[in-house]
Amino acid sequence: MTKHEQIIEHISNLPVGSKISVRQIAKVLRVSEGTAYRAIKEAENNGIVSTIERVGTIRIEKKKRNAIDNLTFAEIVNIIDGHVIGGREGLHKSLTKFAIGAMELNEVEKYIGENTLLIVGNRTEVQKLALSKGSAVLVTGGFDATEEVKQMADYLELPIISSNFDTFAVANMINRAIYDQLIKKEVLTAQDILIKTDDTIYLRENDTVSEWKHLSESSKHTRFPVLDDNNKLSGIVTSKDVLGQSLNEKIKKVMTKNPVSVNLNSTVASCAHIMIWESIELLPVVSRYNNLLGIVSREDVLKAMQIVDRQPHIGDTINDQVLKKMTFKEDEILVKISPQMSNQFGMLSKSVYLAIIEETINHEMKKHIKGDILIDNIDIFFVKTVQMDSEVKVTFNLLDLGRKAAKVEVTLTVRNQTVAKSLCAIQVIEHFY
């Protein structure tokens, strides 16, 4: 195990809420401060620590993907650019809702409880009531809290956060952060469809072709990852590799070395793109240090993409917002250009052009294929500008369709004048079940 891995493991084993510093880690594990700093940064990227200005770095509980919409109070501090004035020991705790304390004292009690963040001004009695009910407090307008309230927060380990922004701005910031997390939750990654190492059949470098044959007959599979003595991925062996080889030949001599692999955070769409581009049926999933974490198969990827198409979406992406302005008729597609789609000059934004073309292709290609598509290349020619409140007519033309690829043309017109024309190359992912 490298020093970097040792530091990550040490941080992972620390109790939630522990304070961490570069100097402390370097001293305890006898490593350089540079090595400690890089490991702490990776731990932050992995979601197990959080760095807060004027507080430091603290160990937090890593959120599971099924609870990713829950933010910690430490994250709230960074989102609103606030500072902690009490209850620092509770920064690692999560909040599930927030409330605005703009009502009378006896009415506030209905809206607060554990895992709640109450947004309020300099109302001392409301702050004390919130803390007594298990709620953290966010004081807006740059106000401070009394010493009595701070001591109460420290005793109950419930944070009091102060922000210079007003209540409306703070609520919008937090709502946007939760909304972004919901969109992330909807994006399927390799982690969601992974066949873990414990359930994965693999071979070792010193195994023989005879053992590959035995595994193939018993499992009905022909592709297996190959690991070295340190459980790191060293290759992939398939039926093509062993064809014509002696049964006593070592796997390490016939395998495909340095195979294409992905990590846990790779999206299902990127996995599908790699599989089609490389013409492979199995993708190993590895850690940063190339340790095998599991595999994803072509069948799992295609099933996952079908699920994504069918499931309802909670968060609206830019494409979702553009799609709401599109009207699909039998012989034409119309788009109403809203002010949100324009750039600083009041003209249709280039990113919206792309979104319109992409959604048009997705909609029209479903009439011609049973499967999914991935856009490889788009060439756009911008002929004229489009002003806000205009109505754009979109025309789709399928130029060529093969089993694995297609070429299409999409034209945008306003009042019978061409405003943009695009040529697109597409990969086709067929569903065979």
pLDDT tens for 178-207 read: 766 665 655 678 888 888 888 888 999 999
Of residues 154, 164, 160, the one with CA closest to residue 136:
160
Asked whether the whole model's pTM tops 0.75, one would answer no
Q: Which two tokens stand for residue 369?
A: 């294929």
Q: Which amino acid is at 368?
A: H
> Which class is domain 3-56?
mainly alpha
Q: Does domain 191-306 sit in CATH 3.10.580.10?
A: yes
What per-residue confidence (pLDDT) applies to 416? Answer: 92
**pLDDT score of 433:** 44
What residues in the chain have per-residue pLDDT under 70?
Answer: 1, 53-55, 63-70, 179-187, 306-316, 431-433
Give the position of tokens 């919901």: 182
pLDDT for 66: 45
Would you say the C-alpha torsion 205, 208, 213, 215 has a positive or negative sign?
negative
CA pair distance 298, 279, nearest whole angstrom = 10
Assign domain 313-430 one CATH number from 3.65.10.10, 3.10.129.10, 3.40.630.30, 1.10.260.40. 3.10.129.10
Whether 355 and 375 have beta carbons less than 8 Å apart is answered as: no
Region 65-184: CATH code: 3.40.1390.20
From first CA to last CA, the distance across the chain in angstroms is 44
Buried b (16+ CB within 10 A) or exposed e, 76-98: bbebbebebbbbbbbbbbbbeeb
pLDDT of residue 63: 59
Domain limits of the chain?
3-56, 65-184, 191-306, 313-430
